[in-house]
Amino acid sequence: MSVTIGVLGIQGDFGLHQKALQRIGVKTLVVRYTEELDRCAGLIIPGGESTTFIKLLRKTDLFESIGSFGRTRPVMGTCAGLIILATRISNNGFETLGLIDIEVERNSYGRQVDSFVDTIRIPMFEDKPEFEGVFIRAPRIRALGAGVETLGFHREEIIMVRNDRVLAMTFHPELTHDGRIHRYFVETMAG
């Protein structure tokens, strides 16, 4: 594919997202500075620690730049990335990018030892809707606002959503060898 997808590289598992994109033939750029966003057709915000992410985004002047980027170009967020993209956090008051109208609860499943792997359902993958879901100190989506579409479930719980420009999930697709979510983001939203 001829587009370049940026992966925010200030914290978290950005290298695994980069490898996932490369496996499906997509050019990548690790984004650490505002000017690098201009070279990206889309951006992935990886998992990590959400409060640390916000502090680093502010320190590097990326907070406003990514907010502006996400109002015109596609962004994908996993785990902490979802938290940063949400409009509301039910159990923390820090300011987020507010690019997708959802309310989330941080660390909703518990501590690191409560992390788990389980089969999830992504109905838009009609031929094989099952996907391996890796949940690490995962958030929960507590409420959806206008214009937010549900894409994935763990049992009956919503774990993957999108609006016009943002794809967000509570789990880590980069920790699997299944490239369908990354491919969906690139082909459907950033292509």
CB contact at 8 A, 94 and 36 = no
The active-site residue out of 17, 105, 174, 182 is 174
Q: Which of 170, 185, 13 is CA-nearest to residue 86?
A: 170
40 catalytic per annotation: no
The active-site residue out of 36, 40, 79, 105 is 79
Name the percent of the chain in helix, strand, coil, to the closest 5.
30, 30, 40
103 catalytic per annotation: no
The active-site residue out of 17, 154, 172, 182 is 172
* Residue 166: DSSP 8-state: E
Q: What distances in angstroms separate CA 175 from CA 13, 110, 132, 141, 146, one per listed residue?
A: 9, 20, 9, 20, 30
172 catalytic per annotation: yes
Q: How many CB atoms lie within 10 A of CB 32?
A: 14
Torsion, CA 52, CA 54, CA 60, CA 64, rounded to 10: 170
Q: Which residues are catalytic?
A: 79, 172, 174
